[in-house]
Structure 1
Amino acid sequence: MADVAVIGAGVVGLSTAWMLAEAGTAVTVLDSSSSEGGASGRAHGEIVPPAATVQPLWRETLAIYQRLAEHNDFGWDHTPVGTIITADRGEEKLLLARKHANDTHRVATRLVRAPELKTVEPAVDLSDGCALLLTEGRKINPHKAVAALAGSARAAGAALRCGVTVVGLQRTAGRWRVMSSDGRIFEATKVVLATGLGTSQLAQEVGCRIPLVGVHGRILLTEPLPTTLTRIVSAISAGPAAFAATKTTLRDLATPTHKPAAVASLMHQRQDGRFAIGASWSPALLPEGRYPATRIAKAAIRRVPILADAVIEGSWSGVRPYAVDGRPVIDEIAEGLYTCCGHGGEGFILGPGSARLMSQIVLNRPPMCSTAEFSATRFSESLNKREP
């Protein structure tokens, strides 16, 4: 019997297993896929400053990646390359609010117009908008990062068991019985749910409501190109677009022609010269369709015109699990049962830092930051407030 069973072998689950195993805990990781990572290995790979409420998790993530990179090559920038957050005319208030939030949390920023931007990143066409230059911003190769985390977890003593689909949990005699679809039962003193969208259903078995929403996202990958872009290029509209995609109403489903997927230009050039270009946000309840890729391409060419003739070598789409209020859930939801989920498109930005906080909660150690923002009880509290 393991001390802790971690369900889910994505960036969050593997990081949690690594932290717990290093602390001397006997850890078993269970995952339904045939190899580690699942959807995590097909992410964008941009590690940029997030919203203020989750910046402690992001800062811890940076420290963990620096340590992981001491023995692994996963495309990590030891020194930040920086980020350009672009805004079109009419979006300047959003950009100024982002600047204020980052300045408050000691992330160096500078507001620039098109002429100045051309001197620092010539390939980016700002037209009549403006941009925010952030000193921070780094890249990773998601597939290699997942492999590195899996290797570190194993080296610390964690056991990884793939091909296990967990369908139920049962508390008995002071321990948890984890039941799989093929009839196998795994026992552990404690269980951590890092299962993405599947967390909601498992949490319901203990009477805990964790509303998670699946959001489609598409990314394009170009052929290798000469060095064109130094920094990560983002868009101020990306955050609002992602949040809006989590709000699908019955009226949306009943409308024959639903609104198209939200798209924003997000891109960086990888170490191998390829451009990773995205992204889109559309509710997983609705068909993704063929248009997100078309609109992503248009947005990318508009922002970096030199990409117009770049050959597309690959395209993929995944479903990202968003908590409906935009913050992850990192909490104990029943005796010996914990969850770390709801990171949406920021799994690699916040995942390892979230795992550090999760491991501290599991081991009953002082947390590195306040846990109130990430409590699962916030959803039951909001539900109660709506009751008459």
Structure 2
Amino acid sequence: MAGSDVVIVGGGIIGAACAYELARSGASVTLLERDELAAGASGRNIGFFGLPWDPVLDPMATSSLQMYLEVTADPPVPVHFDREPIGTLAVAIDEDDAAMVRDEAAAAGRAGLRAERLDAAGLKELEPEVTADVSEAWLFHEGRRVDPGALTLALAELARRAGATIRHHLPGRRLLSRGETVTGVVTDDGVIECDTVVLAAGPWSTGLLRPLGIHIPVRGARGWLIQLVPPRPLLSHWVEGSARTLWRREVEPVTAGEFSEGVARDDIGAVIQPSPDGTIVAGTSREPALAWSAEDLHVARAVAGCAIRLLPALADAPVLGTWAGIRPMSPDERPFIGWLRHGLFAATGHGSEGVILGGGTAVLVRAMVQGREPPLDPTPFDPLRFG
């Protein structure tokens, strides 16, 4: 097969954004996707965009926002992306949750974002359908809705128009090396030689690295979502409750005990989105996994229970569908972006913030791959930081 300057392995939001950014800079790019574009977590998430309120990650998210506003102003395929934030309502059910929400409000303030505490009357006026059984509620003036699958397709199409080759149903089987230099990717259609391989295959990136003796601790974590048809318009804001009480268990290696114990109560919470099409999408959960399985529908049912607790009127809402995505988690909740060895570059481990960080990741990848000054400090994302 013909060679390329860059071969990108993985056709999710990270791979598509990297293909777009590199191709429009003049690089010859081949993107390999083992399935369809956005078949994984990029097409199977709730579709939220907001700053992480983290001084390390916020500049990358801001870069993503700039890219997405540009791309969706005149997209090659239909894409919904809120031009302005619709706002996020964080609801605390008990005092532990309230303390966490107050921490989030403080983090938002440090990031320069506005957050206001609501009393019972203010909550009732803002979102009358939300349960009154809360200990505290805050309104964050941040949060946009996005169709992540369509955004991925739009970025890939723009990359194709800029000269990139997009290959569906063609996985990268093995990395080709000459000494300590990676020189290409072996596929079922032959070898694609290149100057740089960018690994953007989420938790499946580790399988390509293992034969080279390289280890980065990316773990798959499955998250379930439910799409509901409400009996009437119920929400005008994002609503979040009890969804962030446990963030560590899913990034540990899967053990037999974890399989036997199932999902702990704190692995499950509720984030509820009023979608532009009138439906409501609710999540979220996290459990160790490298594939989604219908056998885990008990988790989806638990997510539904959390959502009903926050929004009781959902109890009578028909279920339109359920689905799960596998998120690539890192131990410190920061992605792996950088050189692994000569000719091999990592862009993975974005966890549940792939859409939020995808565009900014692509801008950083382009600069580093092309030997330019990075737009932000890449040190916190060093893929070899865990040794």
TM-score (norm 1): 0.91
**Larger CA deviation: 370-379 vs 109-118:** 109-118
Give the corresponding residue for 2:13: 11
**Larger CA deviation: 47-56 vs 359-368:** 47-56
Give the corresponding residue for 1:385: none
Aligned residues of 1:243 and 1:326 also touching (Cα < 8 A): no
Residue 294 of structure 1: CA displacement? 1.6
Aligned residues of 2:237 and 2:273 also touching (Cα < 8 A): yes
Percent of residue pairs bearing the same amino acid type:
30
**Larger CA deviation: 239-248 vs 45-54:** 239-248
In structure 2, what is the Cα distance between the partners aligned to 1:311 and 1:104?
40
In structure 1, what is the Cα distance between the partners aligned to 2:161 and 2:189?
29
Question: Aligned partner of 2:39: which letter?
Answer: G
Write out per-residue CA displacement over residues 9-32 of structure 1, whole angstroms, 9 at most, x where no aligned residue.
110000001000111111110111
- Selected match of 1:26 from 17, 25, 28: 28
Give the corresponding residue for 1:321: 328
After the TM superposition, which residues 113-124 of structure 1 pair with which residues of structure 2 at under 5 Å, given as runs?
113-124=119-130
Q: Return closer, same or farther for 1:95/1:164 CA change in 2, 3 Å cut-off.
A: same
After the TM superposition, which residues 210-249 of structure 1 pair with which residues of structure 2 at under 5 Å, given as runs?
210-223=216-229, 226-235=232-241, 237-248=242-253
After the TM superposition, which residues 52-63 of structure 1 pair with which residues of structure 2 at under 5 Å, given as runs?
52=54, 53-63=56-66
Task: Say yes or no: does 1:93 pair with 2:95.
Answer: no
Question: Aligned partner of 2:137: which letter?
Answer: A
Question: Aligned partner of 2:18: which letter?
Answer: T
Residue 204 of structure 1: CA displacement? 3.0
Aligned residues of 1:175 and 1:187 also touching (Cα < 8 A): no
Structure 2 residue runs without a partner (length 5+): none
Task: Give secondary structure in 2 for the equivalent of 1:187.
Answer: strand
Give the corresponding residue for 1:386: none
Residue 45 of structure 1: CA displacement? 0.5
- Selected match of 2:271 from 245, 266, 277: 266
In structure 2, what is the Cα distance between the partners aligned to 1:196 and 1:285?
10
Task: Give secondary structure in 1 for the equivalent of 2:327.
Answer: strand
Question: Aligned partner of 1:66: which letter?
Answer: L
Residue 56 of structure 1: CA displacement? 1.4
After the TM superposition, which residues 276-287 of structure 1 pair with which residues of structure 2 at under 5 Å, given as runs?
276-284=281-289
Aligned residues of 1:224 and 1:272 also touching (Cα < 8 A): no
Aligned residues of 1:45 and 1:142 also touching (Cα < 8 A): yes
Aligned residues of 2:29 and 2:163 also touching (Cα < 8 A): yes
Give the corresponding residue for 1:82: 87
In structure 1, what is the Cα distance between the partners aligned to 2:140 and 2:251?
27
Q: Return closer, same or farther for 1:328/1:265 CA change in 2, 3 Å cut-off.
A: same
In structure 2, what is the Cα distance between the partners aligned to 1:202 and 1:8?
12
Residue 101 of structure 1: CA displacement? 1.3
Task: Give secondary structure in 2 for the equivalent of 1:201.
Answer: helix
Question: Aligned partner of 1:371: which letter?
Answer: P
In structure 2, what is the Cα distance between the partners aligned to 1:226 and 1:36?
34
In structure 1, what is the Cα distance between the partners aligned to 2:216 and 2:305?
36
Give the corresponding residue for 1:308: 315
Aligned residues of 1:269 and 1:275 also touching (Cα < 8 A): yes
Aligned residues of 2:17 and 2:152 also touching (Cα < 8 A): no
Residue 224 of structure 1: CA displacement? 6.3
Q: Return closer, same or farther for 1:244/1:116 CA change in 2, 3 Å cut-off.
A: farther
Give the corresponding residue for 1:291: 298
Task: Say yes or no: does 1:201 pair with 2:207.
Answer: yes
Task: Give secondary structure in 1 for the equivalent of 2:173.
Answer: strand
Q: Return closer, same or farther for 1:311/1:249 CA change in 2, 3 Å cut-off.
A: closer
Give the corresponding residue for 1:36: 37
Question: Aligned partner of 1:139: which letter?
Answer: R
Give the corresponding residue for 1:190: 196
Task: Say yes or no: does 1:359 pair with 2:366.
Answer: yes
Question: Aligned partner of 1:74: which letter?
Answer: V
Task: Give secondary structure in 2 for the equivalent of 1:177.
Answer: strand
Task: Say yes or no: does 1:142 pair with 2:145.
Answer: no
Aligned residues of 2:290 and 2:326 also touching (Cα < 8 A): no
Q: Return closer, same or farther for 1:315/1:263 CA change in 2, 3 Å cut-off.
A: same
- Selected match of 1:340 from 347, 352, 365: 347
Aligned residues of 2:9 and 2:171 also touching (Cα < 8 A): no
Write out per-residue CA displacement over residues 210-262 of structure 1, whole angstroms, 9 at most, x where no aligned residue.
11111111101113654321111123x43343433223564734x84444462
Write out per-residue CA displacement over residues 18-64 of structure 1, whole angstroms, 9 at most, x where no aligned residue.
0001111111101111x212211122111123240311111111111
Give the corresponding residue for 1:70: 73
Q: Return closer, same or farther for 1:59/1:302 CA change in 2, 3 Å cut-off.
A: same
